Amino acid sequence: MNSVQLQQTTASMSSMNATLSTLPPLSPTNDPWDPIRSLRRHGRHRLTSVEMTVSNLCNMRCEHCAVGDTLVMAEPQKLPLKQMLERLDEVEHLETISITGGEPSFSDRTVREYMVPLLQYARSRGVRSQINSNVTLPYSRYEQLAPYLDVMHISFNYTNADDFHQIGFAKAGHSVSRVAAAKLYDRMIDNARRLSETGVLVSAESMINYRTFDKIDEIHRLIAEMGCKRHEVHPMYPSAFAKDLPVITREQMRQSIELLLSKRDPSIWMLFGTLPFYHCSDNKEERKLLARLASEPNVTVRNDPDGRNRLNVNLFTGDVFVTDFSDVPAFGNIASSKLDEMFDRWLDHSLARSVDCHCPAASCCGPNLLVKDMYYKDTDFHTKTALFD
Ligand code: SF4
């Protein structure tokens, strides 16, 4: 780098830092990924969030992986970054971007040529950013991203290295030694701690499933010890890749959440998402749980962003989806359409309409598509309304 380039880089870094300092911190009262915010602000759903899939490579093969059936050993070229940036530029109300995979940082080249520039773009526009990663690779990968990144989202469903070994390589197709797995486990913990120390909001997500529902409190304790500032909790819904896993009942999910609420570290932001419980439910216990979640400090329930304020772009094909793991086929491509136009087309889709209800008093804007399909197939949410006891 010559001195002119160095001066330009330093100038643009300080302007990005200035942008960051004017943005309100992410907190339980400021979660721009929640579609209820844009619905309130605009009076209708708007595209405010774009997720980009930048890798189908991963060093792990988790039992529960939502995109496990798309993982490959070698992947094709991605679209030019410029094309993606131009499409992002056209999104009028963009507030957040997310970068996902596979393990998005699997290739150092992808980190340098796509992820860092996308994060720099977001920071310079005052848009918040998230990366979904397993953070098991050498810290140098994540160190390049940290200066521009708001949220590092990791999965954490373990109580020790043995859990990690069993769950993280369940679909590897070959045996992975416990020693090798334990090394990655320790590195993941170390990386999460280091990222947290640099000021990145490390948000660990746990799934409530047949393995975790009765030890979610222990998982939470380890997440707090790792220095994570947020613990995100979602029930697991079997996607295509994980469809053969045992399913737990709604009652078991409810009890697991109650356990977590009783044992949690109150200084950690607890973010619940894609819960199968709604304020319009006939089940009083479920409504009671929602009331408890609403009243506890440092606890939020995020409405489902998929297809409400967010779309997913596959950077290999340009195809646009509701989410990276949805069975709903692509409904457009960035080669031929603007993202805002595709989003408006999606809102007109019968599937989008089937979950498009809104009860302002409950801060709820309807069920997730997978949840509706699994538990509420015959329910017409348009005929329901939030109940308060
Ligand atoms: S918005 Fe829909 S799902 Fe939520 S409480 Fe109202 S009717 Fe039920």
Write the pLDDT tens digit of every residue in 164-176.
Answer: 998 887 777 788 8
Distance 123 CA to ligand 1 centre (A): 34
- The top-level CATH class assigned to 27-349 is alpha beta
Count of CB atoms situated within 10 Å of the CB of 351: 16
Residues 6+ apart with CB under 8 A from 46: 38, 39, 93, 309, 343
Burial class (CB in 10 A: 0-12, 13-18, 19+), 177: exposed
Is the pLDDT confidence value at 103 over 80?
Answer: yes
Closest ligand 1 atom to Cα of 281 = 8
135 phi-psi bin (left φ>0, alpha ψ -120 to 50, beta other): left
The band of 326, judged by pLDDT with boundaries at 50, 70 and 90, is low
Count of CB atoms situated within 10 Å of the CB of 108: 13
Write the pLDDT tens digit of every residue in 238-256.
Answer: 665 566 778 888 999 999 9
Q: Where are the domains of the chain?
A: 27-349
97 lines ligand 1 (CB under 6 A): no
Is the pLDDT confidence value at 70 over 50?
Answer: yes
39 lines ligand 1 (CB under 6 A): no
Burial class (CB in 10 A: 0-12, 13-18, 19+), 323: buried
287 lines ligand 1 (CB under 6 A): no
Contact 257, 272 (CB under 8 A): yes
Count of CB atoms situated within 10 Å of the CB of 63: 19
Phi and psi torsions of 115, nearest 5°: -70, -50
User: Which of 277, 304, 353, 358 to probe ligand 1 with, by most ligand atoms within 8 A of CB?
Assistant: 358
Residue having the nearest C-alpha atom to atom 2 of ligand 1 = 366
Per the DSSP assignment, residues forming a β-bridge with 30 are 27
Write the pLDDT tens digit of every residue in 336-369.
Answer: 999 999 999 999 999 999 999 999 999 999 999 8
Confidence at residue 4, expressed as pLDDT on a 0 to 100 scale: 47
Closest ligand 1 atom to Cα of 362 = 5
Residues 6+ apart with CB under 8 A from 6: none
